[in-house]
Amino acid sequence: MEGLHLSTATRLGVLSLGLGIIGWQCNEKGNLTQFELHPDFAMELIASEPQVFDPVDLEFDHHGDAYVLQMPGYPRGEDQSSIIKLIDADADGIYESSQIFATDLMQASSILPYQDGFLVAAPPDLLFLKDNDGDGLADERRAIMSGFTDANLQHNFNGLTYGIDHWIYLANGGNGGSAYWSDRADSILRIGASDFKIDLDKHRFELVGRSSGGFELAMDDWGHFFGTHNMYHIRNIVFPSYYIGDFPLNPRDLLIDISDHEEKGLGRIYPIGEQETRVNHPEQSGYFSGACGITHYGGSLFPPEFQGNIFVNDVVLNLVHRDIVGKNGSVFSASRGRQGVDFLASPDRSFRPVNSTVGPDGALYIVDMYRKVIEHPEWIPDELEVNMDIDAGKDKGRIYRIRPTGAELMSAGLSEVSTEKLVDLLSHESQWHRMTAQRLLLQYRDPATAEILKKAWNADQPARTQMHLLYTLNALGEDIGQQLLGALKRQEDAKLQEHLLMLSEIYIGSNDDILNEVLAMSQSSDPRIKMQVALTLSTLPERRQREFEDQFITALINISEDGGLDDRFVATALSIAARYLPITFLKTLRSRNSFTDSKYFHHLVELIASGVARSENQNQQLALVKEFAQRQSDKKLILNIVMAYANASIEVLEPSAKSSWKSILNQLENTGDLELTAACWELRNSLKIPAGPNAKMLIAEAQNRLRTGQVPADEVVSLTKLLAHGDPALISDDLINLVDAKQPIEVQQVAINILDGFRDTTLVAKLIDSWPGLAPATRRRVTDMLIYDPGNHDLLFNSLENGILNIAEFNFDLERRRRLLNSKDESTANRAKKLFSDAGVVKRQDAIDAMREVIDDQGNPDRGLKVFRAQCASCHKFGNVGVNVGPDLSEISRKSKETLLHDILDPNAGADPEFINHIVETENGSVISGILSNETDATITLIMMGGEEKTVSKSQIKSLQSTGLSLMPEGLEGVISKGEMADLLAFLQRPIL
């Protein structure tokens, strides 16, 4: 699994990795004592090689028979996928043999029981397979859809899931494609980066929302979907794309990470195997980097506290993580199941839990692909790959069953499939039973089904059962208006209300009674219901919104109250709902001053203005600005509107409209407000309206005021933004001077963004000259300019080759290195190869090689503590020992000995910019050296060796210089013997209890 761009550089060099070295021996199958499992559970090996190999998916048909999708083609694609049926001849719960169901399935990645056969995600096709003659082999094979991209195998579309609404949901995986029905090639869905769903009955498909891009989807008991992808172990699409329509909202903004236990964007997990050197991102050791196989537990066998939990596997670190899902306003949150330990972990580095599922018996099944190397070769440095056996384990695979200790398994499969029985099963505690029953009811379509469902509805049913009844009736084509109306009036459980609102969208365009009930639900205090009411109302045609305008606006105001505008996604939903009546809604909101202080009021204004800007309704665009341009108290509001218009790049074609725009912009600029003036100038550029007569004078005034250094902090940013509209030749030096650590952080960012837009290498050269005085965040931005703009590559290499810049500060992770190593420009590639390889940045290879033998020594951690106290504790903390100047090493045990050795002996090969040493000289002549630990607009704080902190006012700084080096010295091999190094490594790898 590939990693993502992080802020710590890779320092691998050419390593003798423990990953896939030729000669690998697999662990004995059936040895379960090595696993560490939650103490209340037991684990069984229920299938393994030779009857199963390379498993990536496991599904149970309605009889309870287990089918496994095998993918021997990963990672290179030489062999095709196949499906086998597992056979338990003696009914002891262990599968002794298997039978081929289908072969030659390209690089299929997912299967789903459907219509007594299987849907198969096998790019470029979505296949349907069925055994019609009963011999166990699929004899029917047809492509239902085609056009899915088959590129990198780990990014194939996957996650086939039967939804509560009778649609089939799929995860994008990352390859995307232009999908079409095989019998209607003219109807194309461009998937892009979105997950999607298909209605096989009516040949419909829709985008669901921005994809997590990973392997598998999890659907909870109420139809909410969760995704995963490598580092981002649990994500949720807040609401589907169809609500957005043509509204200018980026679906990416609706894909959120819901974990509450991240550390700097990484989810800490707890592997128990021997630490191995990461082949690309060593900083991800001990954190999610191979998250996949996300699964919702909806069985009824586990204890109550496990119901609704989400399980996420990490194939890189050989474990299964458990999250408890809760609410966080209008969205979800995910909390760690147990602190400091995961649900399941193995020391066997070939244990690769790629997937999991919940069986009809209520157990959790773990699908173990069992590979020595799971990283895709694309993400393995070339010189390391030659020493790996990428194919080790291709003839192996294991499937495990987990259940509470002593618990008896539920019966597997459905013994009876009569319509009455299937309707009864919609109330079953097990999600598998409910979803299978619903699917079969819609497959068989017994003429009596609708009446039996309605009879069940009239009985006193739990909220979840009501949801299944309504969706099943709706999928049968029945009118559910009366049932909806009654349920809406009863103000049911909030989880059911959400679905009642979504189903109401079928009717509110014509049914006044249902619409009135939806409007009444706007008074709910539940943030998620507030959001859904707004989304449901957003589906009303403009005609209906105007017909019910007073009630509609009142409903939007109700949603805004009681903290509605303190919730980001409630505010977002309101902006979509108000797309046809934006001015009326904003006027009403503004009239109630209490809303303007809400956390997301201005976010709402920006979104509404963006919608108006892209509506191409020039009268409405002008009217919105004029409405709020008159009162000084509306300054922030009108600023939001003008900036939204400028960012939307609106165009004015009619001369009369252009004249009106010129007039209103002059009016706004004449207020003398610098920030508003800068925004108006941005909008002028978009509208192609020349700047006013005072523009040059204002820019010159801004330059002069900034040069004095006496400008109030709240005006510096606005003055800097005005400079963006000046002549680059006249303002560039002023901008360079603003990219200074003594300036507020936002000023530095604004100035450097303006400079970057000029695309002038002479200005970049001046930034390099200023490098020692740049703040860490600013230096990161400059490194981006140097690496990602080919026009700056000569400057980059000249500076590195001549020692002007230190390679340690460039965060040269694998992706950044390859940007240069794989450049089409031969000179760039050759110069890059002289600085680093595909495997990493190494500056002190001789020192590392001379000490490498200690990696194989066991070492004594107690003696290592003494070495740590003597050599490391003045800057590093490990548990209760030492001080925090450099990185806290309390959890460093997650790293391999090899990585630790590199960190110790080659500290400047890729030091985290956060821990680069800085020297400050103050106006009174004091000199302070240390790590820059905090920066505000007014002060900086340094931590000096020994742990003492010193805060300095920016107004008292004469100079701030980066040394470009870690505070940690090179040459420790001269003061630490090999025996002491072995002891130190043993100490650092000893977990703190």
Report which of 537, 531, 606, 567 is spatially closest to residue 239, judged by C-alpha positions: 531
Highest mean pLDDT among 108-112, 753-757, 897-901, 967-971: 108-112
* β-strands 255-257, 232-237 pairing: antiparallel
Confidence of residue 22 (pLDDT cuts 50, 70, 90): very low
pLDDT at 334: 98
Total domain count, the chain: 5
Task: Give the containing element (helix H, strand E) for 180.
Answer: strand 177-181
DSSP lists the bridge partners of residue 238 as: none
CB distance 553 to 534 below 8 Å: no
In a domain, 710, yes or no: no
- Rounded Cα–Cα distance for residues 310 and 321 (Å): 8
Confidence of residue 19 (pLDDT cuts 50, 70, 90): very low
pLDDT at 491: 78
Whether the per-residue pLDDT at 455 is higher than 90: the answer is: yes
CB distance 193 to 172 below 8 Å: yes
Confidence of residue 159 (pLDDT cuts 50, 70, 90): very high
* Distances from the Cα of 709 to the Cα of 487, 620, 716, angstroms: 66, 42, 9
Query: Mind spelling out the 3-state secondary structure of 370-433?
Result: CCCCCCCHHHCCHHHHCCECCCCCCCCCEEEEEEECCCCCCCCCCCCCCHHHHHHHCCCCCHHH
Confidence of residue 930 (pLDDT cuts 50, 70, 90): confident
Could you tell me if 656 and 554 lie in one domain? no
pLDDT at 276: 64
Q: Please give the share of the chain, as a percent, with pLDDT higher than 90.
A: 51
pLDDT at 934: 74
Q: Coil, strand or helix: which one is 840? A: strand
CB distance 789 to 825 below 8 Å: no
Could you tell me if 596 and 633 lie in one domain? no
Report which of 87, 132, 85, 127 is spatially closest to residue 104, judged by C-alpha positions: 127
Give the mean pLDDT of 100-113.
97
Could you tell me if 371 and 450 lie in one domain? no
Domain CATH for 270 = 2.120.10.30
CB distance 215 to 226 below 8 Å: no
- Rounded Cα–Cα distance for residues 604 and 569 (Å): 10
Of the given ranges (113-117, 609-613, 677-681, 852-856), which has the lowest mean pLDDT? 852-856
Residue with tokens 């207020």: 671
pLDDT at 14: 33
**Boundaries of domain holding 396:** 32-404
In a domain, 136, yes or no: yes
Residue bearing the bigger pLDDT, 749 or 927:
749
Whether the per-residue pLDDT at 21 is higher than 60: the answer is: no
Q: Which residues make Cβ contacts (< 8 Å) with residue 80, sequence separation at least 6?
A: 72, 73, 103, 104, 105, 106, 107, 108
DSSP 760-791: -HHHHHHHHHTGGGS-HHHHHHHHHHHHH-GG
In a domain, 39, yes or no: yes
Q: Please give the share of the chain, as a percent, with pLDDT higher than 70.
A: 91
Quote the Cα angle for 703-706-707, to 5°: 85
Quote the Cα angle for 637-641-643, to 5°: 115
In a domain, 693, yes or no: no
Residue bearing the bigger pLDDT, 940 or 572:
572
Could you tell me if 263 and 337 lie in one domain? yes
In a domain, 411, yes or no: no
Could you tell me if 586 and 534 lie in one domain? yes
Confidence of residue 12 (pLDDT cuts 50, 70, 90): very low
- Rounded Cα–Cα distance for residues 763 and 769 (Å): 10
Instruction: Quick: pLDDT tens for 821-859.
Output: 889 999 999 999 988 877 666 667 777 788 888 888 888
Could you tell me if 427 and 518 lie in one domain? no
Whether the per-residue pLDDT at 377 is higher than 70: the answer is: no
In a domain, 89, yes or no: yes
Could you tell me if 278 and 330 lie in one domain? yes
Of the given ranges (623-632, 679-688, 702-711, 728-737), which has the lowest mean pLDDT? 623-632
Is the CA virtual torsion 572, 578, 583, 589 positive or negative?
Answer: negative
Whether the per-residue pLDDT at 906 is higher than 60: the answer is: yes
Q: Coil, strand or helix: which one is 853? A: helix
Whether the per-residue pLDDT at 5 is higher than 80: the answer is: no
pLDDT at 57: 98
Could you tell me if 213 and 242 lie in one domain? yes
Confidence of residue 311 (pLDDT cuts 50, 70, 90): very high
Whether the per-residue pLDDT at 18 is higher than 50: the answer is: no
CB distance 274 to 349 below 8 Å: yes
In a domain, 749, yes or no: no
Could you tell me if 206 and 330 lie in one domain? yes
Query: If 0-12 CB within 10 Å is exposed, 13-18 middle and 19+ buried, where does residue 429 land?
Result: middle
Could you tell me if 594 and 645 lie in one domain? no
Highest mean pLDDT among 91-95, 278-282, 873-877: 91-95
pLDDT at 16: 32
CB distance 314 to 293 below 8 Å: no
Instruction: Quick: pLDDT tens for 71-90.
Output: 999 888 889 999 999 999 99
As given in the structure block, the two tokens for residue 488 are 């809406």
* Distances from the Cα of 326 to the Cα of 254, 258, 388, 389, 448, angstroms: 18, 10, 43, 43, 39
In a domain, 631, yes or no: yes
- Rounded Cα–Cα distance for residues 335 and 324 (Å): 5
Q: Structure pTM?
A: 0.85
Confidence of residue 993 (pLDDT cuts 50, 70, 90): low
Domain boundary, last residue among 683, 700, 717: 683
As given in the structure block, the two tokens for residue 312 are 């996420």
Could you tell me if 624 and 640 lie in one domain? yes
Instruction: Quick: pLDDT tens for 646-682.
Output: 888 777 767 888 888 888 999 898 888 888 898 898 8
Task: Give the containing element (helix H, strand E) for 960.
Answer: strand 957-966
Domain CATH for 447 = 1.25.10
Of the given ranges (202-211, 447-456, 926-935, 984-993), which has the lowest mean pLDDT? 926-935
Whether the per-residue pLDDT at 866 is higher than 90: the answer is: no
Phi-psi region of 928 (alpha: psi -120 to 50; beta: other; left: phi over 0): beta
Confidence of residue 4 (pLDDT cuts 50, 70, 90): very low
Is the CA virtual torsion 426, 430, 436, 439 positive or negative?
Answer: positive
As given in the structure block, the two tokens for residue 28 are 């004995």
How far from the centroid of its chain's Cα atoms is residue 890's Cα?
Answer: 27
Instruction: Quick: pLDDT tens for 490-546.
Output: 977 999 999 999 999 999 999 999 999 999 999 999 999 999 999 999 999 999 999
Whether the per-residue pLDDT at 187 is higher than 90: the answer is: no
Number of H helices, E strands in the chain: 31, 37
- Maximum CA extent, the chain: 93
pLDDT at 283: 61
Residue bearing the bigger pLDDT, 445 or 811:
445
Highest mean pLDDT among 98-107, 366-375, 741-750, 966-975: 98-107
Q: Which residues make Cβ contacts (< 8 Å) with residue 142, sequence separation at least 6?
A: 127, 128, 182
Could you tell me if 470 and 489 lie in one domain? no
Domain boundary, last residue among 404, 431, 459: 404
Domain boundary, last residue among 586, 606, 626: 606
**Average pLDDT of the chain to the nearest whole number:** 87
Of the given ranges (66-75, 422-431, 768-777), which has the lowest mean pLDDT? 768-777
Report which of 460, 236, 417 is spatially closest to residue 328, judged by C-alpha positions: 236
Whether the per-residue pLDDT at 703 is higher than 80: the answer is: yes
